[in-house]
């Protein structure tokens, strides 16, 4: 039973992140879970807010079984879509209605739905490195070609000069992700205006609309009061793929939504097609009970301070050991520059039972992604191992030579931590 040609490369290049996840389970079985420092997966360790389980129990008690567990319109329950739209309007000053919201099986499904809706074979899709490599698989599902814009490794804001240069007439869509996986960087308002301007200019030049797809599972994970601008305000032909995986710690439940604003060209037709795409790719609809729960949890949020503590401890410690990385403003990742080739560095880490993901898995070699959605205790326990890695890579000697800088970093930590709590 030969597998499909398109599947062969997928099997050969199976997700490094997922491979690491399986490797973590294997090592935990050998050394004990507490002796393996798995920073590989974006699987939230902060539990879902109490409100979620309470809402589940309330829904079961108060709503009819055939309604809660039954089919609804493929776009989702109307009252849920209305409530999501209202919540967005209140928070971001948008003007969405029920007709702009399609409930989806997570953001990954939302992205597949919109890509299926608009891509023709051979169409190009741009995205900004570093990026979540699955985007490539999503685009290839519809015979499109994903092209990465090279990163600006100073700031990890998108490189707009290269973006404009790569934005040729075959580009049908652009995927962006902020707060960003893997860097934790939030794209600034200036960046979004820049992206919008370029897209408007190029759309006019080529005579066809270019769709901006904003993948936003980390929207709610922003620290120190950082603002994550709402992308539809900066460019009309924008759709948003949202997920509650991170904001409510429900990654396994596969619940999210797709926003298609009225301002989007041919909005009604695109929406009608997207609802059908939702059905025929096999999702049919977003899980029903979780839709009902979302309606009751629109103001709930995970304990962000737990991630913030992790962020500070890990960032301050690693920089103290001589590692360098942009301080993340959002999400729950550090993207750390490696003192050697990134895969080799991952092997050094693994010797010390630390699992991290090479930057190559985000089209940005020379870095590793460290997920800090783990227990504070795991980070504490892992620090001696990170220190040994730094020593082995010759970073600690440099640090030893600049001991005061290290001390200074530790002090900064206290101040920033206070700021984070404010």
Q: List the x/- string, 129-148, binding to a second copy by CB under 8 A.
A: -----x--xx--xx------
Stretch that binds a second copy, among 105-113, 193-201, 338-346, 401-409 (CB under 8 A): 105-113
* Cβ(58)–Cβ(272) below 8 Å: no
Q: List the x/- string, 113-132, binding to a second copy by CB under 8 A.
A: x--xxxxx------------
Using CB under 8 A as the binding rule, whether residue 209 contacts a second copy is answered as yes
Residues in the chain: 422
- Applying the rule CB under 8 A, the residues between 3 and 62 that interact with a second copy are 3-7, 10-11, 14-15, 18, 21-22, 41, 43-48, 52-53, 56-57, 60
One residue of 36, 72, 331, 379 binding a second copy per CB under 8 A: 72
- Applying the rule CB under 8 A, the residues between 137 and 196 that interact with a second copy are 137-138, 141-142
State the nearest-atom distance from the C-beta of 1 to a second copy, in Å. Answer: 4
State the nearest-atom distance from the C-beta of 78 to a second copy, in Å. Answer: 10
One residue of 69, 95, 170, 201 binding a second copy per CB under 8 A: 69
Stretch that binds a second copy, among 100-108, 145-153, 155-163, 181-189 (CB under 8 A): 100-108
* Cβ(419)–Cβ(353) below 8 Å: no
- Applying the rule CB under 8 A, the residues between 214 and 243 that interact with a second copy are 237
State the nearest-atom distance from the C-beta of 283 to a second copy, in Å. Answer: 6
State the nearest-atom distance from the C-beta of 191 to a second copy, in Å. Answer: 23
State the nearest-atom distance from the C-beta of 256 to a second copy, in Å. Answer: 10
Rounded to whole angstroms, how far apart are CA atoms 401 and 268? Answer: 63
State the nearest-atom distance from the C-beta of 162 to a second copy, in Å. Answer: 25
Using CB under 8 A as the binding rule, whether residue 2 contacts a second copy is answered as yes
State the nearest-atom distance from the C-beta of 406 to a second copy, in Å. Answer: 34
- Applying the rule CB under 8 A, the residues between 252 and 271 that interact with a second copy are 252-255, 264-267, 269-270
Smaller CB distance to a second copy: residue 245 or 317?
A: 245
The residue count for binding a second copy (CB under 8 A) is 88
Using CB under 8 A as the binding rule, whether residue 276 contacts a second copy is answered as yes
One residue of 88, 149, 283, 393 binding a second copy per CB under 8 A: 283
Among 310, 331, 285, 293, smallest CA distance to 375 is for 310
**Both tokens of residue 362?**
């985000």
Using CB under 8 A as the binding rule, whether residue 377 contacts a second copy is answered as no
Using CB under 8 A as the binding rule, whether residue 207 contacts a second copy is answered as no
């Amino acid at each position: 039973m030969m597998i499909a040609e398109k599947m062969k490369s997928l099997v050969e290049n199976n997700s490094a992140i997922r491979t690491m996840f399986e490797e973590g389970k294997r090592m935990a079985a050998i050394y004990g879970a507490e002796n393996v420092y798995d920073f590989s997966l974006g699987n939230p360790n902060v539990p879902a807010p109490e409100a979620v389980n309470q809402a589940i129990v309330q829904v079961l008690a108060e709503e009819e079984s055939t309604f809660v567990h039954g089919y609804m319109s493929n776009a989702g329950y109307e009252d849920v879509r209305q409530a999501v739209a209202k919540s967005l309007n209140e928070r971001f000053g948008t003007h969405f209605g029920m007709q702009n919201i399609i409930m989806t099986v997570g953001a990954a499904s939302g992205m597949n739905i919109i890509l299926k809706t608009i891509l023709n074979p051979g169409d190009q899709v741009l995205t900004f490195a570093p990026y979540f490599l699955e985007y490539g698989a999503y685009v290839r599902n519809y015979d499109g070609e994903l092209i990465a814009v090279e990163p600006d490794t100073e700031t990890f804001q998108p490189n707009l000069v290269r973006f404009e240069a790569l934005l040729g007439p075959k580009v049908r869509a652009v995927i962006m992700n902020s707060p960003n996986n893997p860097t934790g960087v939030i794209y600034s308002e200036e960046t979004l205006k820049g992206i919008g301007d370029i897209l408007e200019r190029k759309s006019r030049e080529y005579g066809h609309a270019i769709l901006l797809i904003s993948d936003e599972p980390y929207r709610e994970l922003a620290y120190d009061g950082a603002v994550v601008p709402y992308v539809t305000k900066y460019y009309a032909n924008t759709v948003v793929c949202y997920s509650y995986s991170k904001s409510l710690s429900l990654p396994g439940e596969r619940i999210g939504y797709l926003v298609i604003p009225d301002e989007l060209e041919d909005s009604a037709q695109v929406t009608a097609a997207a609802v059908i795409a939702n059905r025929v790719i096999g999702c049919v609809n977003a899980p029903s009970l979780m839709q009902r729960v979302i309606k009751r949890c629109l103001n709930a949020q995970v304990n962000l301070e737990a991630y913030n503590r992790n962020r500070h401890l890990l960032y301050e410690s690693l920089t103290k050991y001589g590692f360098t990385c942009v301080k993340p403003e959002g999400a729950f990742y550090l993207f750390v520059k490696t003192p050697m080739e990134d895969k080799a560095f991952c092997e050094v880490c693994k010797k010390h039972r630390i699992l991290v993901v090479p930057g190559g898995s985000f089209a940005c070699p020379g870095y590793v992604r460290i997920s800090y959605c783990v227990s504070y205790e795991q980070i504490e326990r892992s620090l001696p191992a990170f220190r040994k890695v730094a020593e082995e890579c010759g970073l600690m000697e440099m640090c030893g030579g600049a001991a005061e800088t290290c001390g200074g970093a530790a002090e900064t930590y206290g101040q920033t931590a206070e700021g984070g709590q404010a």
